[in-house]
Amino acid sequence: MQVQIEASWKDRLNPEFEKPYFQNLASFIKEEYKNHRIYPPAKQIFNAFEQCPFEATQVVILGQDPYHGEGQAHGLCFSVADGIKPPPSLVNIFKELKADLGKEMPKSGNLEAWVSQGVLLLNAILTVRANTPTSHQKKGWEEFTDAVIRTINEQKENVVFLLWGAYAQKKAHFVDPSKHLVLKSGHPSPLSAQHFFGNKHFSQTNQYLISKGKEPIIW
């Protein structure tokens, strides 16, 4: 199966595209886009990979599934395109960023500046039906993104994994903590933000990167 994904990722993930689960997933997704309003736009399903090649990846932030409102999702977890009002989870991320590093609330919720520095903004599920959260759960995306995490774990060293919320934390068992830094907290959603605020993940990430001789992220 020919999947349009950035070359360095394709080299490593090609075996997944030939597996029966992914063939079934691809058929399901094709029908969903044909018959329903699906986010993100089809060309942006693999946007996180397009903008953050494998070699550049040094931080992974894991979300659950894309935003399901009009115009919000563009293939990067928690991010929205310029001109779109930041959803509550993203506002809370910016609040923690200010508390941790003193950064003022940005005018845009577009996180592409993070991605360009090697932050892979990966959802566990890469598509969703409009106004129907988790509608593409258990269709195969989770198995694919498990493979992504395993590949990063096995083929890279000193990557920071930010796992916010129980759903993201399920991926932790694919990561060797002796090779990488795993940081966990509650999800930034208003329902659980009391367990997210104060995690200081942004400063901890930079301290770790610096300790490994890497450039810190300009959050």
Q: Which residues are catalytic?
A: 65
Question: For residue 52, what is the DSSP state?
Answer: S
Could you give the C-alpha distances from 181 to 112, 156, 188, 201, 219, in angstroms and in order? 22, 12, 20, 11, 18
Cα(85)–Cα(108) distance, integer angstroms: 8
Handedness of CA 124, 206, 209, 217 (dihedral sign): positive
Instruction: Assess contact for 127 and 26: CB atoms under 8 A.
Output: no
Taking alpha carbons only, the member of 186, 6, 13, 179 closest to residue 89 is: 186
Taking alpha carbons only, the member of 56, 59, 102 closest to residue 200 is: 102
